[in-house]
Structure 1
Amino acid sequence: MGAMHHSGSDKVDSASVIENRKRKTRKDNKNQRLGRADRSALGRWFWEIDRFQLFLISLLIAIGVIAVAAASPAISAQEGKPAFYYFTRQIFWCLIGIPVMIGVSMAPKDLARRACILGAAVCFFLLLLVPFLGVEVNGARRWLGFGMFKIQPSEFLKPFFVVTMAWMLSFRFKDKNLPVIPISMFFVAIIGVLLMKQPDFGQTVIFTGVWLVLLLLSGIPVFLMVGLGVAGALGVVAAYEFYSVAHTRIDAFLNGTGDHYHVDRAMATLTNGGFVGVGPGSGIEKFRLPEAHNDYIFSVIGEEFGLLACIIIALIYGTIVIRVFRRLLGEDNGFLLLASAGLATQFGLQALINMAVNVQLLPSKGMTLPFISYGGSSLVAMSIGFGLLLAFTRRNPYLARSTYLPKWQQK
């Protein structure tokens, strides 16, 4: 009987050990799925992606939704639409833009590069159609389509243009005798002419500025860079002399003459909230502000949430750009270096121009604030661009960190 009792006890102990092992195995499998050992596509993406950058962009998108909700009643009242007409549409575009950004960020780098070259060709063709088939809004012909279904080809062209130019100029790292600079200059000139015909001086500045940064990073001679700088200055003078829109806006900025109603109202709205703002929904000046939901949404944020909120937003943009360039310090792939730097420059330059216009440091440009301003084309195109940036800056967590450091730091 004692032997039988002992045998039963052993069976109970064995069953308990087996159950503990199963429980431990399930726990280990769960931890593995959540840890760096997860080799699924989603797991690799999660550990390779710059998660802090993704958090900052998510924060900007959330700020944008709140800001458009604050601006929507003002612009809707001016246009005779329901109070939250633009807010509900912004939610719709966010539901499209966020999955697009995540999907693009998962793409293999070579596939993303090839898709961008194809996308640049398609968007360039659409840009050629704008002067003939474009829809005119507020005196500018920049859109194709009708009603709610309008797209702005120049917005979608920007990220594809940056990656295509980066791919083209990256050949200079292998052979400096290849004529990639004049070829790229030819395409930039055509795009500039098409944009100035719309007219869209602000986008012309973005395309040209990003191209110059890419040239600088690709290692062109200093005298050539100086020559291009002089040519750019002459281009601004020519635009002032022969381009009526630029002439009017520069005069209004420098001399206070002409039509400067927009920028004056933007400054009045921005400063009305003081340091901490008048509170959500309590703004008054925004009802007299044109384009409160896109070009001048930074001023609406200033009125309702204060200059403190504006400073925080500016710091978020600066942090994103600086983090990208810091991440590129040890990048030895010429294409990835140029593409990532170009996309970060485009993102940061657009944000800088919008905020500078709102505080009257630059003449009015009609430039949206990335991920915050209302706009379907702007939000989705920016989502594509940042998705590409996240894809090109992915890092394998299994490689030593020193792999990505410059040689002078690998000690």
Structure 2
Amino acid sequence: MVEVALRPKTPLGHASVWQRETDWPIVIAAFALIGAGLMLSLAAGPPAANRLGYEDQFFFVKRQVGFAGLAAITLLGVSTLNAVWARRLAALVFAGSLVLLATILLVGHEAKGAQRWIRFAGFSLQPSEFAKPALVVLTGWLLAQRQLYPNGPWAGITLVFFCATLGFLLLQPDVGQAALLTAAFVVTFFVSGLPFRWAVIFAGGGAALSGLLYATLPHVRFRVNSFINPTAYDTYQIDKASEAIARGGLLGVGPGEGTIKTSLPDAHTDFIYAVMGEEFGYIAAVLLIFVFGFIVWRGLRAAARIHDPYPRAAASGLFALFGLQAAINIAVNVSLIPPKGMTLPFISYGGSSMLGTALTLGLALALIRRERTVWKG
């Protein structure tokens, strides 16, 4: 018998394995979204800077270029991790995010009636953008422990983590992010194979909490009522967004030729999809939806083929988180649901949103890498 010495893998070897196992169509689609976001930043950024009184009309554009570069590095860097290191990174990010979410309640920056940001050195950080993907990964890992230690309180621990994060979000208050977090958590929870009775518990708890929020938070009540009966309330933002999309028609009025963006609040963030509809038309708007749908479809299909419970559940939750955020933003822009104040992933202006989305997809790509062996630790 001939014995062959096993050599340790070199950094070049790890890079080769990563290159072979990574789902490059998803990476390419993600970079296409980042590119589209930069292009739309050129369209919506200068009017927003002028409206907000910045001397440099390219203030938001320049910052978005920097955010896009950091997001690209984050996405690719995190995607090189294996399942164990993805979980370790998620644990660190989650712990840090919880500390920052608690800190926000004491010294956070308040804007539009909500306290969601920490400001430093001219930048604003929104910890909830990082807490969401980190919680999803930890949930998938903790629930997978049931196969190794079936008598452990794994579901209870995940619910404690979820309720703590949800509580911090509702205290800000940030109902939109809380709803998105809940949806992604539920997807991860049930892909892990927990009993149907939990669906009844979640449905009942969600209905009760929704009623409580409607009764106690005036801005939630206003958004719901204005959506149900728009003629009785001021719906300026939604009306302007709808007008912009309708004005664009099939092919749009042309890059830089949009006019409604000059009077549309948050045109560079929450309502950038309306800017795209006006300047590039229905075809481009639908194509953007297709790119988001392609990433989610391909990611969920890859997750479904994984036999290991932890990466399967966590990746499913991460792709659901990514897709649902895009769906909510677009639905608000086309007046299908009440306003939520949520960014369009990789498209809207914002450092926290860009980096949080990059972390989400980077972790998801790390978990669905091909040739994955059965997870042991």
Deviation at 1:177, TM superposition (A): 4.2
Deviations 1:86-142 (A, max 9, x none): 111100111211112111111232112112112111111110111101011233211
Contact 2:189/2:313, CA 8 A, preserved across alignment: no
Deviation at 1:147, TM superposition (A): 5.1
State the Cα RMSD in Å: 1.8
Out of 199, 202, 218, which is 2:192 matched to? 218
Out of 32, 42, 46, which is 1:73 matched to? 46
Deviation at 1:245, TM superposition (A): 1.6
Q: Distance in 2 between matches of 1:207 and 1:185?
A: 13
- Paired letter, 2:154: V
Q: Does residue 153 of structure 1 match 2:146?
A: no
SS in 1 for 2:256: coil
Instruction: Give me the identity figure in percent.
Output: 36
Contact 2:215/2:221, CA 8 A, preserved across alignment: yes
- Paired letter, 2:183: G
Q: Distance in 1 between matches of 2:35 and 2:352?
A: 18
Contact 1:65/1:87, CA 8 A, preserved across alignment: yes
- Paired letter, 2:248: G
Q: Report the counterpart of residue 61 of structure 2 in structure 1.
A: 87
Q: Report the counterpart of residue 116 of structure 2 in structure 1.
A: 142
Q: Distance in 1 between matches of 2:47 and 2:133?
A: 31
Q: Report the counterpart of residue 170 of structure 2 in structure 1.
A: 196
Deviation at 1:211, TM superposition (A): 1.1
Where do residues 5-404 of structure 1 align in structure 2 (5 Å cutoff)?
Answer: 40-81=13-54, 82-146=56-120, 148-256=122-230, 257-396=232-371
Contact 1:262/1:290, CA 8 A, preserved across alignment: yes
Q: Distance in 2 between matches of 1:231 and 1:321?
A: 27
- Paired letter, 1:171: Q
Which is further off, 182-191 or 306-315? 182-191
Deviation at 1:230, TM superposition (A): 2.3
Q: Distance in 2 between matches of 1:100 and 1:232?
A: 34
Deviations 1:369-396 (A, max 9, x none): 0011100111011111111111111113
Q: Distance in 2 between matches of 1:220 and 1:255?
A: 39
SS in 2 for 1:40: helix
- Paired letter, 2:334: V
Structure 1 alignment gaps of length 5 or more: 1-37, 404-411
SS in 1 for 2:326: helix
Over 3 Å counting, the alpha-carbon distance change for 1:39 and 1:190 in structure 2 is closer
- Paired letter, 2:87: R
Over 3 Å counting, the alpha-carbon distance change for 1:259 and 1:174 in structure 2 is farther
Deviation at 1:207, TM superposition (A): 1.1
SS in 2 for 1:144: strand
Deviations 1:11-59 (A, max 9, x none): xxxxxxxxxxxxxxxxxxxxxxxxxxx9622222111100111110010
SS in 2 for 1:328: helix
Which is further off, 120-129 or 173-182? 173-182
Q: Distance in 2 between matches of 1:122 and 1:143?
A: 14
Deviation at 1:174, TM superposition (A): 4.0
Deviations 1:180-216 (A, max 9, x none): 2232222222222221221211100011111111121
Which is further off, 177-186 or 42-51? 177-186
Contact 1:248/1:259, CA 8 A, preserved across alignment: no
Over 3 Å counting, the alpha-carbon distance change for 1:223 and 1:300 in structure 2 is same
Q: Distance in 2 between matches of 1:176 and 1:318?
A: 36
Q: Distance in 1 between matches of 2:224 and 2:332?
A: 12
Deviation at 1:316, TM superposition (A): 0.8
Q: How does the TM-score come out when normalised to structure 1?
A: 0.84
Structure 2 alignment gaps of length 5 or more: 1-10
Deviations 1:320-371 (A, max 9, x none): 1110111123211110001110110100010010000001111110100001
Count of aligned residue pairs for this structure pair: 362
Contact 2:135/2:162, CA 8 A, preserved across alignment: no
Over 3 Å counting, the alpha-carbon distance change for 1:363 and 1:173 in structure 2 is farther
Q: Distance in 2 between matches of 1:189 and 1:375?
A: 27
- Paired letter, 2:126: Q
**Highest relative contact order (Cα 8 Å, sep 6+), 1 or 2?**
2
Contact 2:258/2:278, CA 8 A, preserved across alignment: yes
- Paired letter, 1:59: A
Q: Distance in 2 between matches of 1:201 and 1:134?
A: 17
SS in 1 for 2:322: helix
Asked which structure has the greater CA Rg, the reply is 1
Q: Distance in 2 between matches of 1:239 and 1:377?
A: 26
Q: How does the TM-score come out when normalised to structure 2?
A: 0.92
Contact 2:139/2:189, CA 8 A, preserved across alignment: no
Over 3 Å counting, the alpha-carbon distance change for 1:304 and 1:200 in structure 2 is same
- Paired letter, 1:195: L
Contact 1:96/1:380, CA 8 A, preserved across alignment: yes
- Paired letter, 1:240: Y
